[in-house]
Amino acid sequence: MKINANYLNLKDGYLFATVAKKTKEYKAAHPEKEVIRLSIGDVTLPLAPAVISAMHGAVDDLSKKETFKGYGPDFGYESLVNAILGSYARKGVSLAFNEVFVSDGAKSDCGNILDIFDQDNVVMVPDPVYPVYVDTNVMAGRKIVYADATAENGFLPMPDQNVNADLIYLCSPNNPTGAAYSKDQLRAWVDYALERDAVILYDAAYEFFVTDPSLARSIYQVEGAEKCAIELCSFSKTAGFTGVRCGYTIVPNALVRQGTPLNKLWARRQSTKFNGVSYITQTGAAAVFTEEGERQIGESLAYYRKNAQTIANCLDELGIWYTGGKNSPYLWLRCPNGMGSWEFFDYLLENANVVGTPGSGFGKNGEGFFRLTSFGSAESTEEACRRIVALLKKG
Ligand code: MLT
């Protein structure tokens, strides 16, 4: 018996687990303090009424012999897949029914999709980046090359013709930096991938935060992307499903490598290793894309956008440089007074009792930066900002 020794090459703890552990230790030592978490991007508003009512209906269906459901279809109930197709059509993207795969979330699919690719592929990830892209490839022992995202390029790296990659991760609006690619910028990535027969793994988990029409909501808004890109989407941030779990992945029929449609491989992988998302969850998810559902989630998104504005105002008042917060729920700021990322984490936790995420946890280029999320309650976001302003104005 041999273990997968690649696991020994992983950093000690998953970033958000380390942040949670440090926060818990601080709270245990200072039970009287009210700690505000603006760290992990976890939603705080309840599910939309349309979603709740659809879920109640689904529970009732399960209570009656005539409407009871056992195993669902491998890739999602027809009603949800059609609702997803409708949502794409409203973005000007036409997809076929079999190109949509419903899953329990973008994080799982980000890792699972690697099953259909050879170990030998070179993977390109931006730095800084959502740690799941790196960790899942380290687990598989793949070679990783980094595309530098820096303040100079607005944290939006563009393709470098001298670097070859087979699998390319892009996330826009970006986690952690909040920066978002325009359709023109994405076109350059699509061209780069097509020239090399590479595949882009495009994480669109935050697309519903985009309001600027020049920015992409889906990579398929760029011509040719259907021949080189897989898109990973989630109901987590769109509709508050972080605890409910539902997402979807698009594998276009036109995406063919070595004579094999990747859609066929992913379908085979999913039908073998995954038994679908619960009927209750999928019924709730389908309600997100009804007229009423979209209006209601629009209100939640507006609430989080207002929090982002509150944080942006606070940073402006302090003269702190940042990206994001406009078409994204994340604000990515330069740590004040030349502090390192973990140093600022400790400073904020201890002196303002506010928790954020250290930028260095997302990669070496994140050192000296810090991420705050707008997913908290309006009250706690305002209070956190008051404390941050008071602390940094004094300091
Ligand atoms: C984050 O805070 O980066 C996200 O919530 C993590 C995730 O979606 O898994």
10 three-class SS: coil
User: Residue 28 is which amino acid?
Assistant: A
- Taking only the tens place, the pLDDT of each residue in 356-382 is 999 999 999 999 999 999 999 999 999
CA of 379 to the centre of ligand 1 (A): 22
Q: Are 251 and 245 in contact (CB under 8 A)?
A: no
Reply yes or no on whether the pLDDT at 44 is more than 80.
yes
Cα(237)–Cα(40) distance, integer angstroms: 12
- What pLDDT was estimated at residue 346? 97
Q: Could you say which of 3.40.50.1860, 2.70.98.60, 3.90.1150.10, 3.40.50.2300 is the CATH number of the domain covering 5-47+293-394?
A: 3.90.1150.10
pTM score of the predicted model: 0.96
7-21, 31-45, 54-68, 103-117: least confident range:
7-21
Q: Does domain 49-290 have CATH number 3.40.950.10?
A: no
Phi, psi of 229 (to 5 degrees): -135, 140
Ligand 1 atom index nearest CA of 16: 2
Q: What is the mean pLDDT of the chain?
A: 97
Question: Rg of the chain's alpha carbons, rounded to an integer?
Answer: 21
- What pLDDT was estimated at residue 12? 81
CA of 181 to the centre of ligand 1 (A): 19
Residues 6+ apart with CB under 8 A from 22: 345, 349
Cα(158)–Cα(156) distance, integer angstroms: 6
The full set of domain ranges for the chain reads: 5-47+293-394, 49-290
245 three-class SS: coil
- What pLDDT was estimated at residue 13? 83
CA-nearest of 285, 209, 307, 211 to 48 is: 285
Reply yes or no on whether the pLDDT at 41 is more than 80.
yes
Residue located nearest, by CA, to atom 1 of ligand 1: 41
Cis bond before residue 176 (omega within 30° of 0)? yes
Reply yes or no on whether the pLDDT at 395 is more than 80.
no
- Taking only the tens place, the pLDDT of each residue in 170-215 is 999 999 999 999 999 999 999 999 999 999 999 999 999 999 999 9
Say whether 49-290 and 5-47+293-394 share the same fold: no
CA-nearest of 221, 205, 189, 179 to 124 is: 189
Q: Are 324 and 330 in contact (CB under 8 A)?
A: yes
User: If you ran DSSP here, which 8-state letter would residue 215 be given?
Assistant: B
CA of 219 to the centre of ligand 1 (A): 21
CA-nearest of 3, 54, 107 to 283 is: 54
Pocket of ligand 1 (CB under 6 A): 40-42, 107, 130, 175
- What pLDDT was estimated at residue 394? 82
Cα(323)–Cα(326) distance, integer angstroms: 8
The mean pLDDT value for 259-281 works out to 98
CA-nearest of 144, 173, 168 to 156 is: 173
